[in-house]
Amino acid sequence: MKKEAQKLVANNKKVFHDYFVEETWEAGLVLHGTEVKSLRMGKCSIKEAFVEIDKGEMYVTGMHISPYEKGNIFNKDPLRTRKLLMHKGEILKLTGKVKEKGYTIMPIQVYFKDGRAKMEIGLCRGKKLYDKRQDIAKKDQRREAEKEFKVKNLY
């Protein structure tokens, strides 16, 4: 059996704070040579990024890949729009979901899988302020319970 090796490059934790993630998919990234080298060095940010569908193709906008130091004239624009690779059926399914009110597609993480750059994207629905407060309260309760559990086990 083939073992899948994954190397995480960028992670967007803010997505889970601002959105309810309904489903996730894996998509390939179309990159140029120096962008791949820069990604391998971990120079990527997807905090401001979002995914849009145009004419049956998916694109990620706002993803920042820093220019490769030794790339000189071969470097591309760090904020250029990059194409995502997915099956046509998956794109059509996502297109139908995005047309529903309140849904959007957000990048969750960028990683290398078997030497290829991949992006995990999620179908997300925006959270209201009270939803965020409930999540923070749950995290605080869990943290307090873990702290009490540690204190009880020390003695």
Domain boundaries, the chain: 6-127
Q: What pLDDT sits at residue 154?
A: 67
pLDDT tens, residue by residue, 87-120: 999 888 888 888 877 788 889 998 988 888 889 9
Terminal-to-terminal C-alpha distance of the chain: 47
For the entire predicted model, the pTM comes to 0.73
Q: Which of 58, 63, 48 is nearest to 110 (CA)?
A: 63
What integer pLDDT is reported at residue 74 of this predicted model? 67
CA 9/CA 7 separation, integer angstroms: 6
* More confident of the two residues 3 and 69: 69
pLDDT at res. 155: 63
Type of residue found at 127: K
pLDDT of 152 higher than 80? no
Residue 113, CA atoms < 13 Å, CB-side half-sphere:
12
List, for residues 5-55, the tens digit of each pLDDT value.
678 888 888 888 788 888 889 999 888 888 888 888 888 888 888 888 888
Q: For the beta carbon of residue 38, count every other beta carbon within 10 angstroms.
A: 22
Residue 3, pLDDT score = 55
- Collapsing DSSP states into helix, strand and coil, what is residue 46? coil
Distance separating alpha carbons of residues 40 and 34, to the nearest angstrom = 10
Q: Which CATH number is 6-127's, of 2.40.280.10, 3.40.225.10, 1.10.10.10, 1.10.3210.10?
A: 2.40.280.10
* Identity of the residue numbered 130: Y
**Length in residues, the chain:** 155
Could you please report the per-residue DSSP string of 3-42? PPPEEEEEE-THHHHHEEEEEEEEEEE---HHHHHHHHTT
Nearest to 79 by CA among 50, 110, 103, 106: 50
